[in-house]
Amino acid sequence: MIEHIKRAADYLREKGVAEPVAAVILGTGLGERFVTTVEQKLVIPYAEIPHFPISTVESHHGKLIFGTVRDRKVLVMQGRFHYYEGYTLQQVAFPVRVMKALDTKYLLISNASGNLNRAWKAGEIMVVDDHINLQPDNPLRGKNLDALGPRFPDMSRPYSPFLNDRLFDAARRRGLILRKGVYAAVLGPNLETRAEYRFLRTIGADAVGMSTVPEVIVANHAGLPCCAVSVLTDNCDPDNLNPISLDEIIAVSKAAEPKLADLFCDVIGELQ
Confidence (pLDDT) at 182: 98
Residue 58 has pLDDT above 90, yes or no: no
Cα 47 to Cα 2, 62, 88, 154, distances in angstroms: 19, 8, 17, 33
Q: Using 50, 70 and 90 to split pLDDT, how confident is the model at 59?
A: low
Rounded Cα distance, 101 and 8, in Å: 9
Tens digit of each residue's pLDDT (9 = 90 or more) over 210-257: 999 999 999 999 999 999 999 999 999 999 998 999 899 999 999 999
Cα 36 to Cα 97, 133, 181, 262, distances in angstroms: 26, 33, 29, 11
3-state secondary structure of 69: strand
Instruction: Please give the average per-residue pLDDT across 108-114, as a whole number.
Output: 97
Rounded Cα distance, 174 and 78, in Å: 25
Q: Using 50, 70 and 90 to split pLDDT, how confident is the model at 30?
A: confident
Confidence (pLDDT) at 221: 98
Confidence (pLDDT) at 60: 52
* Domain ranges, ordered by start, for the chain: 2-270
> Which of 98-107, 146-155, 188-197, 238-247 comes out lowest in average pLDDT?
238-247
Confidence (pLDDT) at 100: 98
Question: In the CATH scheme, what is the homologous superfamily, with its name and number, of domain 2-270?
Answer: Nucleoside phosphorylase domain (3.40.50.1580)
Tens digit of each residue's pLDDT (9 = 90 or more) over 117-146: 999 999 999 999 999 999 999 999 999 999
Residue 31 has pLDDT above 90, yes or no: no
Are 8 and 100 in contact by the 8 Å Cβ rule? The answer is no
Q: Using 50, 70 and 90 to split pLDDT, how confident is the model at 57?
A: low
CA 160 remoteness from chain centre? 14
